[in-house]
Amino acid sequence: MLSTPSSVLPGPVLAIESSCDETACAILSSDGTCLAQRVVSQDGHADFGGVVPEIAARAHLALLPGLVRATLADAQLTANDIGFVASTTGPGLIGGLIVGSGFGKGLALALGKPFVAVNHVEAHALTARIPGLVPGGAPFPYLLLLVSGGHCQCIAVEGVGQYRKLGGTIDDAAGEAFDKVAKMLGLGWPGGPALEKLARDGNPKTIPLPRPLLGREGCDFSFSGLKTALSQKLAPFGQSPLPRQFAADLAASFQQAVADVVADRITHALRMMPDAGLLVCAGGVAANSVLRARLETVAEQHGIRFAAPPLKLCTDNAVMVGWAALETCQEAARRGLPQPDDTATRPRPRWPLDEMAHRFAATL
């Protein structure tokens, strides 16, 4: 929870998220209380089996003005009541980042308020610290498993702006693998929730599948071989419809294989970070109940707590963006630095977390 007096922080913050296919806006008070939030999951991508960057960017452009006005109305505030504006500025799809950050900067300039550029991955990393989200709070350091359609990383979260990547995917991200396997099974897109639903009717022990990198040193991930092995199980059926029970067993077996791999990789990550008192799982795939249960067991075995955001904060949202901006402002105040104004910061499709320490480099 924020320890700096709210008078030091220029709240409330209006936050915007537009890094992929969710268009989101949220308003948080100086102490991190969410005053209002809205998220629009864009239509128009399912027919293409994935997010089309151009469609996403155009949708952000069309949706943002009305979404911001509606969120202000929900919070019973006017634009002039806002203390500063924050937008996701990377990493992500560059078109969406340009739209969201450009809108945020324009609004900040029009209001004469500061603008804070937020790293999307850092926002996920700090979500567990939102007041009231995790019983007992989430003090540093802790281990973060970020699992989504675009990311699969183990990150040592040691402080605001202080992150160490312990391992990551060497091919497909976990969410990407879920979506691709769901497509193979004819479940459409996005595939993760549909695959989990189908897997409930299946037996995860029926169909043998590999566990890539299981037992290997380090905590890198690989899901491409698992995906290929599953496709080979489908080959004998050709273009014929899959028997439903076989499809359910295959979905359950795939889901269990992913959970086994992730549990093994997290066990190795915890050995690399013995001072971690908390395991946090964030990102869209953190909504998967089988994965959550398996990670909770791993945490218990290591004598540490486990936390995952509520389902509505697992996927991309603007609450986490506003919170990351507030944490950044607090850290600047704690170090005696001026409050940040990132109007000159350009959107970036890639923005490594280890670069976030540069914001506070004057006092490191």
Query: Are 146 and 179 within one domain?
Result: yes
pLDDT at site 284? 85
The torsion defined by the Cα of 119, 121, 127 and 129, in degrees rounded to 10, comes to: -80
Q: Worst-scoring range by mean pLDDT, 48-57, 220-229, 286-295, 334-343?
A: 48-57
Query: Are 141 and 287 within one domain?
Result: yes
Query: Are 58 and 192 within one domain?
Result: no
Give me the number of domains the chain comprises: 2
Annotated binding-site residue? 192: yes
Annotated binding-site residue? 151: no
CA proximity to 155, closest of 276, 295, 310: 276
In a domain? residue 159: yes
pLDDT at site 314? 82
**Cα–Cα distance, 303 to 120 (Å, whole number):** 30
**Cα–Cα distance, 305 to 303 (Å, whole number):** 7
Question: Greater confidence, 208 or 51?
Answer: 208
pLDDT at site 6? 41
Annotated binding-site residue? 101: no
Annotated binding-site residue? 288: yes
pLDDT in tens, 125-154: 999 999 999 999 999 999 999 998 778 999
**191 has pLDDT over 90:** no
pTM above 0.85, yes or no: yes
**279 has pLDDT over 90:** yes
Query: Are 199 and 66 within one domain?
Result: no
pLDDT in tens, 80-118: 999 999 999 999 999 999 999 999 999 999 999 999 999
Annotated binding-site residue? 150: yes
pLDDT at site 9? 59
- Kindly state the average pLDDT of the residues 169-181: 90
Query: Are 165 and 218 within one domain?
Result: yes
pLDDT at site 311? 82
Crossing angle of helices 244-272 and 174-184, rounded to 10°: 170
pLDDT at site 362? 52
Whole domain around residue 350: which residue ranges? 6-127+316-363
pLDDT over 70 for what percent of the chain?
A: 96
Annotated binding-site residue? 148: yes
Q: Strands of 84-90's sheet, edge to edge?
A: 34-41, 22-28, 13-17, 84-90, 115-119
Query: Are 79 and 216 within one domain?
Result: no
Annotated binding-site residue? 47: no
pLDDT in tens, 311-330: 888 889 999 999 999 999 99
| Per-chain mean pLDDT for the chain | 92
**363 has pLDDT over 60:** no
Annotated binding-site residue? 18: no
CA proximity to 20, closest of 123, 160, 155: 123
pLDDT at site 10? 63
**50 has pLDDT over 60:** yes
pLDDT in tens, 212-241: 999 999 999 999 999 999 999 999 999 899
Query: Are 206 and 331 within one domain?
Result: no
Annotated binding-site residue? 122: no
Annotated binding-site residue? 179: yes
